[in-house]
Amino acid sequence: MYTKFQFMGPCKEEEEQTTDHLIFQCQKLSNQRNETAKQIKNTGGNWPTTKETLVNNYLKIFVQFVKSIDFSDSQ
C-alpha cells in the first residue's frame, strides 16, 4: 500500500510529504508521534512499527494521529 497525501504536509521540509514522512520522520509531528507511540505501547504493541501494522492493528490510533495533524499553516 502506498498512499500519498493529496495536500501539502504541515512542514516546510524538502522531503516529499508522504504518509511515511508524516508518520515516521516529520519533525513537526514529534508530539503527535510520541502520543501515538505511547498509545500503541499501552496496548502491548511495539514502536516503531510499520505503516501496515498501524493500519491493520491500530487503525483507531492511526486515525487519531492523522486527525491531529495541523495542516492550517500549509496553505
61 binds Zn ion (CB under 5 A): no
Considering only residues 17 through 56, tell me which ones interact with Zn ion, judged by CB under 5 A: 26
As measured in angstroms, the least distance from the Cβ of 44 to Zn ion is 29
Q: What is the DSSP letter of 28?
A: G
16 binds Zn ion (CB under 5 A): no
Torsional class of 44: left (φ above 0), alpha (ψ -120 to 50), beta (otherwise): left
**Contacts (Cβ under 8 Å, ≥6 apart) of 51:** 1, 19, 20, 23
Task: Pick between residue 21 and residue 45 the one whose CB is nearest to Zn ion.
Answer: 21
Give the binding site for Zn ion (CB under 5 A): 11, 13, 26
